[in-house]
Every structure is written in structure tokens, then in C-alpha cells.
Amino acid sequence: MKRVITITREFGSGGRTIAKELANRLGWEYYDYSLIAKIAAQSGYAPEYIERHGEDITSWNMWNMGFFSLSDSLFLAQRKVILDLAEKGNCVIVGRCADYILEDRTDVLNVFIYADEAWKKDRIKTIYGENEKDFDRRFKEKNKKRASYYKYYTGHSWGRAWYYDLCLKTSSLGIEETVNILQSVIVS
Amino acid sequence: MKRVITITREFGSGGRTIAKELANRLGWEYYDYSLIAKIAAQSGYAPEYIERHGEDITSWNMWNMGFFSLSDSLFLAQRKVILDLAEKGNCVIVGRCADYILEDRTDVLNVFIYADEAWKKDRIKTIYGENEKDFDRRFKEKNKKRASYYKYYTGHSWGRAWYYDLCLKTSSLGIEETVNILQSVIVS
């Protein structure tokens, strides 16, 4: 019986929208930005700092092996909040290596959400109306940083199927169908 | 509208069982061993040779770059049969890099089926009753060869999510639920 869903997602893939809608349908809690408030309250970090660095790792921190960095400290604060939330159950947690942090639990469904490059870019432009010039750089950087953060703290390669129970490509399946699949896995 | 499903699967994951049941439910053709007879008829290779080498690549062939090998010739024969079958549509094709061979078609759903190591081993032992001594070696070799073959002819890493529309872990979802998910994607 699964009581927690973790969503690891590419920037632009619609993973957050899926997580929100899924939580809504199941009547479960949904944690993404709301996680930031909880981490802030427990750790003393400013919400802005958490939002900016909670899933990014700077190149300085990446090569700062053997030293305990601010990034490590934030990771540990996030870890504690995620462990507590999973203990309560009935929640969908987006990002922040939650799949790895909860790997010892048997009641967690781990999902990877991804999409074709062109589809992700189109989606972001439609939602945020990015201007063309900065967009490509920011898009590439954001996904790269997310993958690097994941690799650094989990040792796992982003998007390697074995770390997840399901990997779903939203550019093929669509947002609605992806939510349907995940809902059916939980309620069946 | 999807008219073809390709199933890339780990040895022991239940991918073949899933493909068969899915084809049965959809009323589609199912090609695995039956593909061998077609390849034999069109190419002149003996069915036994195709079964043995149709998804394996020997280390000699792997390093034999630049020379056209028997393995390459068999791959091309398989490729032609798979392209013809996809053109007819309404079929489930197991293995043989069908996802890569059909990458230019938009009516193909590509699926990767995998499972935890212990689950796969248990499943194979239950079905084939392997003796413990040879088993571990054969199990490891079979999955390694399949991944090497795939990498050699597609250039893609086995199990990297982006190459598939769905990746489903049978040790988490079960065979039945996995078939349900794929059926719902096609009929929805």
C-alpha cells in the first residue's frame, strides 16, 4: 500500500502540475513550495534562500568535497522535513531528492516525469512568456543544475529507470493521461 | 493514434508475458519468437542462429568496427522485417531494437520494462527452475549481452528514460497492473 508519491521532474515537463492535480484527486497533501515554508520554519533559512538553492548546487559547492557546505546543511534540513512528512503519509512530494531520502520505506511510489526538449520549451514559453534570447541559456542551466544536485546528493544518474517505479514522458502521454495513470496505480 | 508498441525488456522482468497479454487484450499481433520465423524466411538465416544471435552481440563483433559482420547482416534482416510489420500496424514487438528502428514513426509507443534484481531472479527460477550454480552467471551474462547489443546498434544507453514513452518497474507494479496501464494508454 503506497502512502507517499515522490515526483522527480525535468524543468518544463509538467511534473509540478501533475503532482498538484494528483494530490487533489487523491485528497492527499501536496508539497512543493509549501515544503519551503516548513523547511524555513524548522531550519531558520530564509524562504528565498531555500527556493534558490534547495535544488541547485553551485559549482563551488560541488567541488568543495570534504568540507561541510551551506548546501549540505540545507540538504539535511530538507531531509528531516521530508522524513517527517512521509511518516505522516498521504502526500505527494516534488523534487528535493525525496525518492532517495525515502529509499528505506516500502510505502513510497517513485516517479520520474520528463519530456522531449521542444515540448518542454514550448510549455515554458506558453506559461511564463520567456523572451527568446535569455531563454535557451536559462532553460539549459536550470535542468543541468537540477540533474547535478540530484547526482551530488544521491549518487544516482538523473532519469535512469531503475531508481523509479514509473517513468512517464509527458510529451507523449499528455498531462491528463499521466495523472490518470498515477491515480490508477494508487487506487488499484 | 498509436498502432505499434515496442517492448524493450530486461531478462526476467516479465516483458514478454506483458507484451503477449497486451496484444491479446487489444486483439493485435504479438511478435517475439514469431518474428524469428519471419526473419528466417526473408533472410535465409536458420531460426536457431537468429534466436541465439538476434539480440546478443559477441565481443568479437563488438570490436570488429568498420567491418561488416554476420551480426550486422542479421540486424539489417531483422530491421527490414520490423519496418514491414510496423507499416501493417496493430502489433506489439518485443526486443530487437524495434524502438530505435521505428524512431521515425509517430504511431509507435515505446516501453521499457525492468525490475529489481532479486525479483527478476526469483521469477526466472520459478518459471525455468534454474540450478543455483550456473544461474547467477547466466543471468548476469544474458542481461549484459542484451544491453550491449542495444548500445551497439542504437548508440543509446539501456534504461535511460528519454528513449521511451513509459518505463514500468514490474517488481513494484506487478505484471497485471503493468498490462492495465499500457492498455489504458492505447485505448484512451
Q: What are phi and psi of B178, to 5 degrees?
A: -65, -45
Q: Report if residue A76 sits inside a domain.
A: yes
Give A58's pLDDT tier (boundaries 50, 70, 90): low
Written as nine digits, the cell of A74 is 540545507
Residue A187 lies in a domain: no
Residues 6 or more apart from B30 whose CB is under 8 A from it?
A: B19, B20, B23, B24, B91, B92, B94
Residues of B near A (Cβ–Cβ under 8 Å) read: 109, 112, 114, 159-162, 164-169, 172-173, 177, 180-181, 184-185, 188
- Binary contact (A177, B161; C-beta < 8 A): no
Cβ <8 Å between B162 and A169: yes
Inter-chain CB proximity B166 and A164 less than 8 Å = no
β-pairing verdict for B108-114 and A108-114: unpaired
Domain span at residue A169 reads: 4-180
Residue B18: give its domain's CATH number.
3.40.50.300
- Stretch B168-186: mean pLDDT: 97
In terms of Cβ atoms closer than 10 Å to its own Cβ (0-12, 13-18, 19+), residue A173 is: buried
**Which of A1-5, A164-168, B55-59, B146-150 has the lowest average pLDDT?**
B55-59
Lowest mean pLDDT among A122-126, A160-164, B92-96, B101-105: A122-126
What pLDDT does residue A74 have? 79
The minimum CA-CA distance between A106 and chain B, rounded to whole Å, is 10
**C-alpha cell recorded at residue B171:** 517488481
pLDDT band, very low/low/confident/very high, at A57 (cuts 50, 70, 90): low
Pairing of strands A108-114, B4-9: unpaired
Classify burial at A98, counting beta carbons within 10 Å of its beta carbon; exposed 0-12, middle 13-18, buried 19 or more: buried
Type of residue numbered B94: V
Contact residues of A toward B, CB < 8 A: 109, 112, 114, 159-162, 164-169, 172-173, 177, 180-181, 184-185, 188
B187 belongs to a structural domain: no
Q: To the nearest 5 percent, what fractions of chain B are helix, strand and coil?
A: 60, 15, 25
Q: Is residue A188 part of a domain?
A: no
Residue A84 lies in a domain: yes
Does some domain include residue A185?
no
Dihedral angle of Cα A91, A184, B5, B87, to the nearest 10 degrees: -120
Q: What is the pLDDT of residue B77?
A: 82
Pick from B162, B165, B172: CB nearest A173 = B165
> Per the structure, how many domains does chain B have?
1
Query: By three-state DSSP, how is residue A98 classified?
Result: helix
Distance CA A93, CA B124 (A): 35
How deeply is B74 buried, as exposed, middle or buried, from its count of CB atoms within 10 A (0-12, 13-18, 19+)?
buried
pLDDT at A63 over 70: no
Interface test with B, best of A107, A117, A181 (most B CBs within 10 A): A181
3-state secondary structure of B120: helix
Residue among A66, A42, A71 at smallest CA distance from A56? A71
Cβ atoms of A32 and A22 within 8 Å: the answer is: no
Across the range B65-81, mean pLDDT stands at: 73
Contacts of B111 in chain A (CB under 8 A): none
What ipTM was estimated for this complex? 0.87
Residue in chain A lying closest to B116 (CA)? A162
Helices and strands in chain B, H and E counts:
10, 5
Q: What does the pLDDT read at residue B69?
A: 66
Determine the Cα–Cα distance for residues A78 and A54; give it in Å rounded to an integer.
Answer: 8
Report pLDDT digits (tens) over A90-145: 999 999 899 999 999 999 999 999 999 999 989 988 887 767 777 888 888 888 88
Select the residue of B114, B160, B181 nearest A159 (Cβ to Cβ): B160
Cβ proximity of A31 and A93 under 8 Å? yes
Instruction: Tell me whether residues A184 and B185 touch, CB distance under 8 A.
Output: no
Say what the pLDDT of residue A70 is: 66
